[in-house]
Structure 1
Amino acid sequence: MVTMAIADLMVCIFNVTVENVFRYHFLDSFLSHTYVCSLNTVIQVSSIQFSVWSTVSFTFDRFVAICCQKLKLKYCTERTATMVLTIVCALSFLMNIPVYFRYEPYSIIDDIPWGCRTVSGYYSSLAWGAYKWIANLSVPLIPLPLLLLLNSLTVRHILVASRSRRALKSRNNAENSSDPEIKNRRTSIILLFAISGSFIVLWTPVVVLDLCLDLTETITLKGPNSLYLAIRFCLLLMYLSSCTNTYIYALTQRRFREEMKNMVKYPFTLIIKLLKQ
C-alpha cells in the first residue's frame, strides 16, 4: 500500500502539478526545454503505468492470500513483495524510455532547444505504431481484464467459503447469531467490486476515445472545442483512477480509520489540554 501511495503521488506531482499547472502557466521556464520536456513525459507515462501495475500486483497478492493457502506461505512475504514491486517499477520506466525519442524541439534559441513536438514520420512509422499498441496493451488493455479475473475469482472463493460457513452454523443452531467473519468477507467483496468498478468506469472513456482517434486518424485538434474538452475530461478521469485505489484500500482498513480519527481529533484534544493547564 505504501508503494501504491508513492506511485499515485508521482502521478499527482508530474502528471497533474508539473504538466497541467507549472508547464502551462510558466511557458518560459526550464520545463519548456526540450530535454526536460521529453524526460518529464517519460516520467508521466511511467508513473501511470507503475500506479496501475502496482494495483494489479496488490490485487494478485490479495488473491493468493485468500484463495491459495498453500502458495500463501511462500508468496505473501515481505521479501516477495519487495522483489515484485522492484521489478514492476523497473519495467515501468524501462519500457517507456523510447518515449524520450518521440519528441523534437519546436525551435532552437541560442543553441538551446525549446519545446516538444512529435518527430516527423511518427504516425507513419511501423516501429512507432507497434510500440504504441504494446503500450496500450500494457495499460490498460491487459490490467483491466486481469483485475476483473482476479477479483471475480476472489469473490467466488469468498462466496463459496461463506456458504459453507453458514451451513455449518445452521447445523449448530446458530443461524441467527451474528458472525464477524461473514461481515469481514462481505466487506472484502465490496472492496474488490469497488476496485474493479472504479477502474473500469474511469479508464473506459480514455480507451474509447483513443480508439476513436486511431480509427478516424485524427492527428491534430483542428475540430471543435468539444473534442478538446472531451480529451481533457478523459485525461482527468484517468489521473483520478490512479489515485482512487489507494484511498479505497486504506479506508477499508480499521487501523487506518482509527489513525485518521486520531488525526482529526488531535487539534481539539490539544486545545482542551491547553485550556485545562
Structure 2
Amino acid sequence: MSRLDGAGEVADLRARLAALIDACDMVQAGGPVAARFRADGTLGRLSIEDGALERYTSRALERLIVEALRTARTRVHRLVQAQAIELFTRCAEGGGPVADASAPWERLEASANHVFAWLAATGSDGQARIYAESSRDGALALALDGSGAAQWCRLRPQALGWGATALADQIGCLYTRALLRVRHAERRRIEKRFGPELAAEIFAAAPAAYPEKQALKQYRRQGLTGRSPRPAPAKRSRWSPDSAGPGRPIDLTQSSGTSGGVGSTG
C-alpha cells in the first residue's frame, strides 16, 4: 500500500470519519425509553414516552433506562471500534516509520482523537469501579462503571411525579456528571502510566470530555439547582446537551469553558 501522504488519502480518511459520526447519530436503542450516543461515547439524546411513567413500575422503568443506555452505547462502540481499527491499519501500513505513517492522521478532524480516547477508556482496568451520582433530594440516582456504561438506576416515587421530560433531563444530568468523573479517572491512569506530557497530547483535542483536575473542580463548584423538578404532566422528552442551561446536561464535545454544574455524589 502506498504511503498515506496525499491530499486525496487524507480527504478519504476524513470522509470516512464523517460517515462514522453520521452512522453513530442514527443509532438508537429503546422503546419507552430511548437513548442515542455520539461517536465519542457521550450521551447525545435521551427520551421517555409520555405514558411510560404510568404504565411501568419504578423497578421496571429503572431496568428500561439502564437497558436503553447500555444497548445504544454498545452499538455505537461497535461501529466506532470497527472503523477505528480499519483507519489505524491503513495508516500503519502506509509505509515508512510509524511517525511518517501517522502524519496524515494528525491532520484529520479532532473527532479521531475522541474515538481513540474513548476506545482506550472502554478497555480500561478501572471498569470494576462504580461512579454513582444522585439528585440532591435522593429521588433519582444513576451509576456508571469505569468504562462509562450504565450499571443501575434508582427511582423513588417522587421522581415519577416529575413527568417524563423532567425525569429524562435529570437522568441526562446524572449521566454527564458521572461520565466526567469516569473520564477524569481514565486521564489520571494514563498520566500515571505514560506521563503527564504524553497524556496532555493524547487528550488535547478533547479537553472537556477528558477534564483535568482543575476543570473538574470548576465544573463541580458551579453546582446544579438545589430544587427538584415540580410535578408536571408527562411530556415526551427529547433531551439534548445542545440546549444545556443551569442545572441541565452539557455538551462534552465543546471546550471545557462551556461546562455546566455538578452536584453531590450519590
Given the two structures, how large is their TM-score scaled by the length of structure 2?
0.31
Of structures 1 and 2, the larger Rg is shown by: 1
Greater share of residues in strand: 2
